[in-house]
Amino acid sequence: MTKFGAGKMNVDPEALHKKYLLERDKRLRSDGTAQYIDMVGELAAYAADPYLGPDVDRAPATEQVDVLIVGGGVSGLLLAARLRHATNGTLRIIEKGGDFGGTWYWNRYPGLRCDVESYIYMPLLEELGNIPTEKYATGQEIFFHCRALASHFGLYADTFLRTAVTAARWNADSARWLVETNRGDRLEAKFLCLGTGGLSLPKLPGIKGILDFKGRAFHTSRWDYDYTGGSPRGDLVGLRGKRVALIGTGATSIQCLPALAESAQEVIVFQRTPPAVDFRNNKPTDPDWASALQPGWQKDRMVNFSSILQGLPVEENLVADRWTDIWTTLAGMGGGEGEDDGTDPMQLADYKKMEELRSRIDAVVDDPRVAERLKPYYNLFCKRPLFSDEFLQTFNRSNVTLIDTDGRGVDRITETSVIVGADEYPVDCIVFATGFRVGVPCYEAGGFRVVGRDGIDLSNRWADGVRTLHGIHVHGFPNLFIVGSRTHAALSPNFTHFVDEQSDHIAQIVARCLDEHIRTVEVLEAAEDMWAQMMAAVAVDRATFYEECTPSYLNNEGATDRPSYFGAAYHAGLLAYVDVCNEWRKTGFERDLDIVHEPQLSLHERPGELRC
Q: Which spans of this chain sit near ligand NDP (rule: CB under 6 A)?
A: 27, 113-115, 199, 205, 207, 247-253, 255, 270, 272-273, 384, 409-410, 433-436, 552-553
> Among residues 272 and 358, whose Cβ is nearest to ligand NDP?
272
The one-letter amino acid code at 127 reads E
CA atoms within 13 A of residue 30's CA, in its CB half-sphere: 0
Diameter over CA atoms, the chain = 80
> Among residues 89 and 275, whose Cβ is nearest to ligand NDP?
275
The CA-atom distances, in angstroms, between 240 and each of 117, 226, 253 are 33, 14, 20
Please state the closest distance from residue 443 (CB atom) to ligand NDP, in A: 21
The CA-atom distances, in angstroms, between 184 and each of 85, 95, 156 are 31, 14, 20
SS3 609: strand
Label each residue of 462-531 as H, E or C: CCCCCCCECCCECCCCCCEEECCCCCCCECCCCHHHHHHHHHHHHHHHHHHHHHCCEEEEEECHHHHHHH
The CA-atom distances, in angstroms, between 521 and each of 65, 192, 457, 517, 594 are 17, 12, 18, 11, 6
> Among residues 144 and 156, whose Cβ is nearest to ligand NDP?
144
d(CA 312, CA 306): 9
**Are 456 and 476 within 8 A, CB to CB?**
yes
Please state the closest distance from residue 102 (CB atom) to ligand NDP, in A: 12
Please state the closest distance from residue 571 (CB atom) to ligand NDP, in A: 19
- The secondary structure of residue 374, as a DSSP letter, is T
> Among residues 302 and 458, whose Cβ is nearest to ligand NDP?
302
32: how many CB neighbours lie within 10 A of its CB? 17
Q: What is the CA radius of gyration of the chain?
A: 25
Please state the closest distance from residue 68 (CB atom) to ligand NDP, in A: 28
d(CA 59, CA 596): 35
> Among residues 95 and 117, whose Cβ is nearest to ligand NDP?
117
Instruction: From 369, 432, 118, 389, select the one nearest 277 (Cα to Cα).
Output: 389
> Among residues 30 and 602, whose Cβ is nearest to ligand NDP?
30
**Are 594 and 570 within 8 A, CB to CB?**
no
Q: How much helix, strand and coil, in percent to the nearest 5, is found in the chain?
A: 40, 20, 45
d(CA 611, CA 608): 10
**Are 145 and 36 within 8 A, CB to CB?**
no
User: Where are the strands (E) in 369-416, listed by range?
Assistant: 386-387, 400-404, 412-413
> Among residues 215 and 493, whose Cβ is nearest to ligand NDP?
493
> Among residues 31 and 340, whose Cβ is nearest to ligand NDP?
31
Please state the closest distance from residue 74 (CB atom) to ligand NDP, in A: 12
User: Where are the strands (E) in 231-350, listed by range?
Assistant: 243-247, 266-271, 277-278
Please state the closest distance from residue 71 (CB atom) to ligand NDP, in A: 17
> Among residues 182 and 405, whose Cβ is nearest to ligand NDP?
405
Please state the closest distance from residue 313 (CB atom) to ligand NDP, in A: 27
> Among residues 88 and 416, whose Cβ is nearest to ligand NDP?
416
The CA-atom distances, in angstroms, between 369 and each of 75, 116, 361, 374, 375 are 44, 32, 11, 9, 10
Instruction: From 240, 264, 246, select the one nearest 398 (Cα to Cα).
Output: 264
Please state the closest distance from residue 406 (CB atom) to ligand NDP, in A: 11
Please state the closest distance from residue 253 (CB atom) to ligand NDP, in A: 6
> Among residues 302 and 527, whose Cβ is nearest to ligand NDP?
302
Please state the closest distance from residue 173 (CB atom) to ligand NDP, in A: 42
Please state the closest distance from residue 358 (CB atom) to ligand NDP, in A: 16
> Among residues 394 and 552, whose Cβ is nearest to ligand NDP?
552
d(CA 72, CA 95): 5
52: how many CB neighbours lie within 10 A of its CB? 12
> Among residues 209 and 345, whose Cβ is nearest to ligand NDP?
209
Please state the closest distance from residue 187 (CB atom) to ligand NDP, in A: 31
Please state the closest distance from residue 201 (CB atom) to ligand NDP, in A: 11
> Among residues 191 and 381, whose Cβ is nearest to ligand NDP?
381
Please state the closest distance from residue 552 (CB atom) to ligand NDP, in A: 6
Angle at 471 between CA 435 and CA 73, to 5 degrees: 45
